[in-house]
């Protein structure tokens, strides 16, 4: 068992006292004054702040203790297993963080003269080519800031292609399987397409016959995750590609589940025309809590002309930014995207090498299947879409029987796991599985950690039968217990800044 620290930690504004300082360095202003004269004259009058900002004033130890205490009431990727499904919450090697924070890389300004940023341009140029190689696509653009942003770019590219062919009015539909992530239909809708859902078949793959009936001359494209969100490889992918291409549509690859394919199979070879990569899921850069991420998009030769500008170009001697792309859809993100995230991916790929990436894919599949097999014996849990075949990097388990038998749902199981010092898996996704627990152990955990996770789940299910009340009221050992799920994700009820807090105090 596990007990999380539970400090009564106030917000930082309530700590410290007036005039207290966290350092004993000379006044920065004195230094500047000596170097450049009167600082007040440096800034135009209308740009000067007349009032000092209302900042907390604390000593160094107060600041350190405040944030250490807060971190003790939190759970992170460095605390233990983080089995969120389809999210690939893998270990983030510290060397990535170290190299990406080198001042020579992260103090570079996007408006610097090209001749002074040859190094970073080379890194971006190479990363585009490596990602092209890994995904089997002709050209990659690094700009999108997340997977969902990559999807949006992808659907805009579909649109650009239709426009060039004069087919905008004719091809208005994008097909999405019912196991898809919610961002797929959202992206298609944002680009102006009508979303057509196709069901999954009994084996968890897309229903090929159903696909054939909805594919038509109205189809702009199909968005597909492979392996899909149930963790199953779409075995009919070549046939699927044929169906879509024969009606004149494009095939879009949602790359959230690329981890188990690294060095093994390439979406481009399967017939995908547009591919996004969730850099923060597959290439060892941190994520969670909303970012920052990166969602590069790779495309076929025909679609490369539409990619956003500027493209990083290389003439054999110098790297430069190329804006001369008359068919480009324009910009979807400032400069080259989230470069610090891309840098981490570059370091990750460089340090792993091709063989290392392949091994990561293999171990991620091994770990997911190990967990799946072990959980197969747990009373109350079942494996949906089971045709005896292995899963790829994740498995989706159903707690439907458990709920029917005991009243303990997937949500309750997830909450109880927190008492074991574990992060919960994804729950209630994909939507096609009742009481879904979607588990992705990734390649980064030892067998002992996986066993600990399986044991915690087994004990939780056992407890559901013997002492359901204890599971229904979990978690018991965390800093905060049950949160109001709706309120917690509703921006209108959240107090996001000290200023908002003061306003609230004033009005209440």
Ligand X SMILES: *Cc1c(COP(=O)(O)O)cnc(C)c1O
Q: For binding to ligand X (CB under 6 A), which residues are involved?
A: 86-87, 146-148, 181, 183, 225, 229, 254, 256, 278, 293, 295
Residue whose beta carbon is closest to ligand X:
147
Nearest approach in angstroms of CB 343 to ligand X is: 17
Nearest approach in angstroms of CB 145 to ligand X is: 8
Of 232 and 378, which CB lies nearer to ligand X in the complex structure? 232
Nearest CA to 304 among 335, 336, 328?
328
Three-point CA angle 335, 337, 340, nearest 5°: 115
Reduce the DSSP state of residue 160 to 3 states and report it. helix
Nearest approach in angstroms of CB 255 to ligand X is: 8
Of 295 and 384, which CB lies nearer to ligand X in the complex structure? 295
Of 391 and 403, which CB lies nearer to ligand X in the complex structure? 391
Nearest approach in angstroms of CB 43 to ligand X is: 39
H/E element holding 487?
helix 485-488
Of 86 and 478, which CB lies nearer to ligand X in the complex structure? 86
Of 152 and 420, which CB lies nearer to ligand X in the complex structure? 152
Nearest approach in angstroms of CB 245 to ligand X is: 23
Of 140 and 148, which CB lies nearer to ligand X in the complex structure? 148
Nearest approach in angstroms of CB 49 to ligand X is: 36
Three-point CA angle 158, 430, 446, nearest 5°: 110
Could you tell me where the beta strands, DSSP code E, fall in 85-218? 139-141, 173-177, 194-198
Tokens for 245, please give them. Answer: 């291409």
The answer to whether the Cα torsion of 443, 444, 448, 452 is positive or negative is negative
Q: For the chain, report the end-to-end CA distance as a whole number of angstroms.
A: 41
Tokens for 240, please give them. Answer: 């699927």
| Residue 248 phi, psi dihedral angles, 5° rounding | 90, 15
Contact between residue 144 and residue 295 where contact means Cβ atoms under 8 Å apart:
yes
**DSSP-assigned beta bridge partners for residue 173:** 194, 219
How far apart are the C-alpha atoms of 203 and 441, rounded to whole Å?
22
Q: Within its chain, how far is the Cα of 106 from the centroid?
A: 22
Nearest approach in angstroms of CB 196 to ligand X is: 18
Of 13 and 428, which CB lies nearer to ligand X in the complex structure? 428
Contact between residue 329 and residue 160 where contact means Cβ atoms under 8 Å apart:
yes
Nearest approach in angstroms of CB 258 to ligand X is: 10
How far apart are the C-alpha atoms of 86 and 430, rounded to whole Å?
10
Strands 395-398 and 319-322, bridge-based pairing: unpaired
Nearest approach in angstroms of CB 490 to ligand X is: 20
Nearest approach in angstroms of CB 295 to ligand X is: 6
Of 339 and 461, which CB lies nearer to ligand X in the complex structure? 339
Of 365 and 471, which CB lies nearer to ligand X in the complex structure? 365
Of 181 and 412, which CB lies nearer to ligand X in the complex structure? 181
How far apart are the C-alpha atoms of 408 and 459, rounded to whole Å?
13
Nearest approach in angstroms of CB 86 to ligand X is: 3
Q: How many CB atoms lie within 10 A of CB 50?
A: 5
Label each residue of 256-304 as H, E or C. HHCHHHCCCCCHHHHCCCEEECCHHHHCCCCCCCCCCCCCCEEECCCCH
Tokens for 362, please give them. Answer: 């293999």
Of 278 and 285, which CB lies nearer to ligand X in the complex structure? 278
How far apart are the C-alpha atoms of 449 and 77, rounded to whole Å?
13
């Amino acid at each position: 068992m596990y007990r999380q620290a539970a400090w009564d930690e106030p917000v930082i504004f309530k700590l410290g006292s007036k005039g207290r300082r966290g350092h004993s360095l000379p006044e920065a202003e004195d230094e500047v004054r000596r170097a450049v004269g009167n600082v007040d004259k440096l800034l135009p009058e209308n740009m000067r702040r007349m009032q000092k900002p209302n900042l907390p004033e604390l000593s160094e130890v107060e600041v350190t203790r405040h944030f250490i205490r807060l971190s003790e009431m939190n759970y992170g990727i460095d605390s233990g297993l983080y089995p969120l499904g389809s999210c690939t919450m893998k270990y983030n090697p510290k060397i990535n963080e170290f190299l990406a924070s080198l001042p020579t890389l992260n103090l570079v300004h996007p408006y610097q003269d090209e001749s002074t940023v040859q190094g970073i341009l080379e890194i971006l140029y190479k990363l585009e080519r490596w990602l092209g190689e890994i995904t089997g696509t002709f050209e990659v653009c690094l700009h999108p800031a997340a997977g969902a942003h990559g999807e949006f770019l992808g659907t805009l590219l579909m649109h650009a292609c239709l426009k060039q062919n004069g087919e905008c009015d004719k091809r208005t539909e994008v097909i999405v399987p019912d196991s898809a992530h919610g961002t797929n239909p959202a992206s298609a809708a944002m680009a102006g397409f009508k979303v057509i859902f196709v069901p999954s078949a009994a084996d968890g793959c897309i229903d090929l016959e159903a696909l054939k009936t909805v594919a038509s001359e109205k189809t702009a494209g199909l968005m597909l995750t492979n392996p899909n969100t149930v963790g199953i490889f779409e075995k009919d992918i070549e046939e699927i590609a044929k169906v879509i291409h024969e009606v004149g549509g494009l095939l879009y690859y949602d790359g959230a589940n690329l981890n188990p394919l690294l060095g093994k199979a390439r979406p481009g070879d399967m017939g995908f025309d547009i591919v996004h990569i969730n850099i923060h899921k597959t290439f060892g850069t941190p994520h969670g809590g909303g970012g920052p991420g990166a969602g590069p998009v790779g495309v076929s030769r025909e679609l490369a002309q539409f990619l956003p500008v500027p493209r990083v170009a290389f003439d054999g001697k110098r790297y430069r930014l190329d804006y001369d792309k008359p068919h480009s859809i324009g910009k979807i993100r400032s400069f080259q995207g989230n470069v610090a995230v891309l840098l981490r991916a570059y370091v990750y790929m460089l340090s792993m090498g091709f063989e290392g990436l392949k091994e990561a894919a293999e171990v991620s599949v091994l770990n997911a299947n190990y967990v799946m097999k072990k959980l197969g014996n747990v009373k109350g849990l079942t494996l949906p879409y089971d045709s005896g075949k292995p899963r790829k990097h994740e498995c989706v388990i159903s707690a439907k029987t458990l709920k029917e038998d005991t009243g303990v749902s997937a949500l309750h199981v997830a909450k109880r796991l927190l008492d074991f010092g574990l992060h919960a898996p994804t729950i209630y996704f994909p939507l096609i599985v009742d009481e879904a627990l979607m588990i992705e152990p990734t390649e980064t955990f030892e067998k002992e950690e996986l066993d600990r996770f399986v044991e915690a789940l087994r004990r939780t299910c056992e407890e559901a039968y013997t002492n359901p009340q204890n599971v229904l009221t979990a978690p018991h050992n965390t800093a905060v217990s049950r949160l109001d799920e709706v309120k917690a994700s509703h921006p209108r009820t959240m107090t996001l800044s000290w200023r908002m807090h003061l306003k609230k105090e004033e009005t209440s």
